[in-house]
Amino acid sequence: MQFFREKKILNAAQLKRLSEHKYSCTSDSILDALLQPWWCWLVSKTPLWLAPNLITILGLIVNIITTLILVWYSPDAQQEPPRWSFALCALGVFIYQSLDAIDGKQARRTGSQSPLGELFDHGCDSISTVFIALGACIAVKLGEYPTWMFFQCICAMTLFYCAHWQAYVTGTLKMGRIDVTEAQYSIIAIHLVSATLGPGFWSTQMPALGAPWCLLMSSMCYAAQFLFVINFSSTFRVRGCGKNGSTVAGTSILSPVIPFSLVVVPAFIIFQKSESQVYENHPALYIMAFGMVAAKVTNRLVVAHMTKSEMEYYDWSLLGPSMLFLNQYFNNAIPEYYVLWLCTIWVCIDLVRYCGQICLEICDHLKIQLFRISPPSAAPPDRNVTSDSEKSDAEDSAPLLNNNTSVS
């Protein structure tokens, strides 16, 4: 554990504000109301000794493994993996979504709610967003249109970041009628189509439009993302919840744009300037590398929100993209493929180190354990889950946001 116990990330004031943080979320999601009976039944069958954070991380692991199987068979998102791998990936997304939806319920059943649960849940979601988007692109063979694939994955990461940017400004995480749950089940449907008809289906031309089905799916995603952007833009027409219309930390409501720009802009420039076409030849590895940097920056935004702190612009994970940038500046002194692997390894290690240290610092402060809870005998009696979810409908309505934090 010494690896995670280096210089403190959170100071005493930040830890105090985090312990006082109250979760706030509103949601109008269509599918969430329909899926509540399934989630309530599932959590009622969950052992009381199973920690909510352990439920969350298990779902993430399943999602990552099933997606990496697709990446193994189709690293360029152009080859056709076996059909069973798509069915497996669909199952992986379903398991992840279901487990992510019940961790908050499990926390209330066992009386183990804490602000750490919210942070841990969002941290896992920031990583899963990358893998879910990447898996969907492989399922429709979007690697045949590398620019479309690039923007599709970047848009997914950006929208997730913007959702927490909005929370950083307003103090409340807001989910629309068509949001995370709908997107996840749409991707499950895409995987099932690829498993049934084969991924080659997405390359066939549509009768009327004369364009492949994969571009139609991408266009529909862009339309949904555009609607989110319109909703997100309303954040800047309304003053923030902080002093003089600022963020929860008292900073400018535009300040979060800078850290994320330091991820997206280099990703695009390196992609465009690469002489060896490192992205076109290895899109999955490229997306994972920059996706982990985006996940790290998003985690820092969530921490800034929960601790009501200013978000720093510099981050050690940016050293990874800098390797690629400097290598291009020196005329590819090292083959870009090797540098891309080095970048990916670095950003993954840095993300794990950061998340691990943050969790340990919060656990030490709150006197709790990350993956363990009190024995069932010491836990409060198992309450009616349906009634509990009705009282906390805002929390349970968005699977992306279900966590172990108490709701005010």
Given the residues 122, 191, 282, 305, the one annotated as active site: 122
248-282 per-position pLDDT tens digit: 888 888 889 999 999 999 999 999 999 899 999 99
- Lowest mean pLDDT across 23-27, 69-73, 149-153, 277-281: 23-27
Q: Per 3-state DSSP, what percentage of the chain is helix, strand, and coil (rounded to 5)?
A: 70, 0, 30
**Residue 25: per-residue pLDDT:** 84
Candidates 114, 141, 118, 269; CA nearest to 214 is 141
Percent of the chain with pLDDT over 70: 82
pLDDT score of 400 more than 50: no
Does the pLDDT value for residue 166 go beyond 80?
Answer: yes
Q: Residue 345 — very low, low, confident or very high, per pLDDT cuts 50/70/90?
A: very high
Judge whether residue 101 has pLDDT over 70.
yes
**Distance from C-alpha of 306 to C-alpha of 79, rounded to nearest angstrom:** 43
Query: d(Cα 192, Cα 87) in Å, to the nearest integer?
Result: 6
| Average confidence (pLDDT) over 176-204 | 86
**What mean pLDDT do residues 377-386 have?**
43
Question: Does the pLDDT value for residue 385 go beyond 50?
Answer: no
| Mean pLDDT value of segment 108-113 | 88
Q: Looking at residue 13, what is its pLDDT?
A: 92
pTM of the model: 0.86
Q: Taking residues 163-190, what's their average pLDDT?
A: 87
Q: Give the per-residue pLDDT at 309.
A: 92
Please count the CA atoms within 13 angstroms of the CA of 94 that sit on its side-chain side: 14
Mean pLDDT of 178-183: 85
The per-residue DSSP string of 241-305 comes to: SSGGG--TTSS-TTTTHHHHHHHHHHHHHHHHH-SS-HHHHSHHHHHHHHHHHHHHHHHHHHHHH
Q: Which residues are within 8 A (CB) of 17 and not within 5 positions of it... i.e. 6 or more apart?
A: 306, 307, 308, 309
122: annotated active-site residue: yes
Percentage of the chain lying above the pLDDT 90 cut: 53
**When comparing pLDDT for 317 and 375, which is higher?**
317
Tokens matching residue 263: 């991820």
Q: Give the pLDDT confidence of 252-261 residue by residue, as tens digits.
A: 888 899 999 9
Residue 208: predicted pLDDT: 67
366 vs 16: CA distance, rounded Å = 10
| Six-digit token string for 374 | 């009190």
Average pLDDT of the residues in 64-76:
95
Res 211: pLDDT: 67
* pLDDT for the residue numbered 236: 67
| pLDDT at residue 124, as a whole number | 95
Give me the pLDDT at residue 3, please.
47
With 60 as the cut, is the pLDDT of residue 158 above it?
Answer: yes
